[in-house]
Structure 1
Amino acid sequence: MKAKFLHGGLAISFVLSGIAHYTHMNTIVQFVLSAITILFAAGFLGKATESVAHYAGDRLGGFLNATFGNAAELIIAIFLIKDGLFDILKASLTGAIIGNLLLVLGLSILLGGLKFKEQKFNKTLASHNASLMVLAIVALFIPAVFVKDLTPKETSSMSMIVAGILIVAYLLWLLFSMVTHKNELADEVVQHGEPAWSKRTSIIFLVLATAMVGFTSEWLVGTLEEITHRFGLSELFVGAFLIAIIGNAAEHSAAVMMAMKNKMGAAVEIAVGSSLQIALFVAPVLIIISFFFGNTMDIVFTTYELAAIAVAVLITKSISQDGSTSWYEGVLLLVVYVILGIVFYLV
């Protein structure tokens, strides 16, 4: 009955949201319908991720969820590049990184911790994730420090070179974690009953759910400009928080569902893995794509954005590197997210 309600609600809300978008209904109506659709789609995505993880393991299941989710973000970002909206794009990338590390992981740890006193995941994986997060900070911090001594042409060249290096580093990480050292980084398999669907059906539904979230997120983001103007919100706040929460955190709410089933390994892979993928792969790929559009986006982020990413990485590294979590650590992540949100709102 619950599954039928989820599927029926998703189908109906998706159709209504699409009609509202393409017939240009009232902005508030579009916003509400899109938000409801995302809630249904997020539940569907979580169920598909759980089913895939049953067959492929928590790590691969979480990785697939993060990858499909970021693919939708990548498509939306390409349109921003085409229009030359680099500042909004960088703000949304910042928001995606801190949103996953602080909001998604924070909620996962909090809600999972309220159900289970202590949740554990692979300690070796946690250590590697911490090192990769530091690499992401270094890769963004160094260009920002030295950009003042570079010409625009040198800045573009530097951005392309750094982007290429980060892509290679990320691909080597996948080789390391998924092939050569996959056994060392795997979590203990904890099964909870039979999967909802077959392996093939689970993958198809994972792709379908992600596509629906991608479409609906784009529709909802399209309503934000008019809505946020009524409240006098800044472009930085809209890009780093509103767009990120709607377009990124919702689609990765599967992490919360996995944590509440005591599958913290999958939750961490979705939340932390997605942030790493954005910083080390998606952002560099966007820089290379912008080159082919004839206007290369640089890798230089603002001081506000760098500070936000740095504190998110710092607190996440401190909490997760021991391979175990409790509900209060989730509270700490959420507190940092709220503080950043307040500051970005007032800037």
Structure 2
Amino acid sequence: MLKRLFFPLLIVTFVLSALSHYMHWGSEIEFVLAGLAILFAAGLLGKATESVAHYAGQRIGGLLNATFGNAAELIIAIFLIKEGLFDIVKASLTGAIIGNLLLVLGASALAGGLKFKEQKFNVHLAGQNASLMLLGIIALFIPAIFVKTEKISQQETMSISIVVAAFLIFAYIGWLVYSMFTHKDLLDDHVDTQADHGESPAWSRGTSILMLIVATVMVAFISEWLVHTLDTFSARFGLSELFVGAFVVAIVGNAAEHSAAVMLALKNKMGAAVEIAVGSSLQIALFVAPVLVFVSLLFGKEMDLIFTTIELAAIGVSVLIATSISRDGATTWFEGKLLLIVYAILGVSFYFV
């Protein structure tokens, strides 16, 4: 029943969101409708990437899901930068990182762990992911410590940010070469690596790619509509920019990863779920955030890579527990619950800022 109603609901929410934006029905109504529309669009994005994974395999499927899932985050951030809302951008990046490491990975481990006693994935991949997460933390912590403790001008701060951003992009490109080409066999999930895992894909290869494009375009439009409501929405409900960016925008923007990762975990494909959750966080820290620094320059507005102490602390503890839980290449429902508890603690703390 729900599957039959999905596409009609997707079209209805998209049209209503467009009408509310262009006919000015009010910021609260616009926010709710845009939020609903982007959830359905993200669901289409997740379904399309899962279909592509049937043809390309778990690792590439997971990478595609993380990439197209982060497309919403990137598009939202670009519109926020255009509006000069740098604090919300950084908060949303923080929320995306901790959301994927704690909420997405936690929900996947919990859901999959309740169905299967223990779920295993490639231990070499888990170790490499942990090292890359630590690199991301180092790259964010070091500039922030120097800028906050030494007398460094705004221009020098921007120079540091540009250099660090360039190195992070270089590191991410190196990781793609390492994981997809030179050491692909070492990092494959050998237990379950066939392109078709005994299931029929939702669509053909061509249709799957077309659906990816359509969903991404829809997310782009809805994201712009959503961004225009944030100021009024946060003021109306007394929410800080930090909370709106780190939790509201991040959860909505990452809806694709949430749904797809949990569905894969329920099918005992924890390797793909981890690739989506952890891989998405890595992509945000090592690629999306650095790219946004350069995007801001194109708009003539300089956004540095210096995060607040609160944001750094949240990212730090998220990486710490996610690394501790996933490094052994196995997860259980209990470990998923621990990740969700940490996410709830951070959510409550951010709410009262």
Q: How high is the TM-score relative to the length of structure 1?
A: 0.94
Q: Aligned in 2, Cα 1:221/1:292: closer, same or farther, shift over 3 Å?
A: closer
C-alpha contact 1:66 1:252 (8 A) present in aligned 2: no
Say how many residue pairs are matched.
347
- Where in structure 2 are there 5+ consecutive unaligned residues? none
Please report how far the alpha carbon of residue 19 of structure 1 lies from its aligned counterpart in structure 2 after TM superposition: 1.7
- 1:98 corresponds to which residue? 98
Q: Distance in 1 between matches of 2:319 and 2:110?
A: 18
Q: Distance in 1 between matches of 2:235 and 2:156?
A: 37
Deviations 1:276-303 (A, max 9, x none): 1111011111112223333332211110
- 2:129 corresponds to which residue? 129
Post-superposition, which runs of at least 4 consecutive aligned residues in structure 1 deviate over 6 A? none
Please report how far the alpha carbon of residue 253 of structure 1 lies from its aligned counterpart in structure 2 after TM superposition: 2.3
- 2:180 corresponds to which residue? 178
C-alpha contact 1:45 1:251 (8 A) present in aligned 2: no
1:20 aligned to 2:17? no
Deviations 1:101-148 (A, max 9, x none): 111111111112122221111111011000000000000000011112
C-alpha contact 1:66 1:274 (8 A) present in aligned 2: yes
Q: Distance in 2 between matches of 1:68 and 1:322?
A: 28
Query: 1:117 is paired with a residue of what secondary structure?
Result: coil
Match of 2:301 among 257, 279, 295: 295
Q: Distance in 2 between matches of 1:125 and 1:237?
A: 32
1:32 aligned to 2:32? yes
- 1:167 corresponds to which residue? 169
Q: Distance in 2 between matches of 1:42 and 1:113?
A: 25
Q: Distance in 1 between matches of 2:105 and 2:6?
A: 24
Please report how far the alpha carbon of residue 221 of structure 1 lies from its aligned counterpart in structure 2 after TM superposition: 4.2
Q: Which amino acid aligns with 2:288?
A: V
- Where in structure 1 are there 5+ consecutive unaligned residues? none
C-alpha contact 1:68 1:210 (8 A) present in aligned 2: yes
Query: 1:149 is paired with a residue of what secondary structure?
Result: coil
C-alpha contact 1:65 1:206 (8 A) present in aligned 2: no
Q: Aligned in 2, Cα 1:18/1:180: closer, same or farther, shift over 3 Å?
A: same
Please report how far the alpha carbon of residue 213 of structure 1 lies from its aligned counterpart in structure 2 after TM superposition: 3.2
C-alpha contact 1:218 1:247 (8 A) present in aligned 2: no
Q: How does 1:1-347 map to 2 (within 5 A)?
A: 3-147=3-147, 148-187=150-189, 188-189=192-193, 191-250=197-256, 252-347=258-353
Query: 1:196 is paired with a residue of what secondary structure?
Result: coil
Q: Aligned in 2, Cα 1:218/1:115: closer, same or farther, shift over 3 Å?
A: farther
Q: How high is the TM-score relative to the length of structure 2?
A: 0.92
- The percent of aligned pairs where both chains have the same amino acid is 67
C-alpha contact 2:76 2:223 (8 A) present in aligned 1: no
Q: Distance in 1 between matches of 2:36 and 2:159?
A: 44
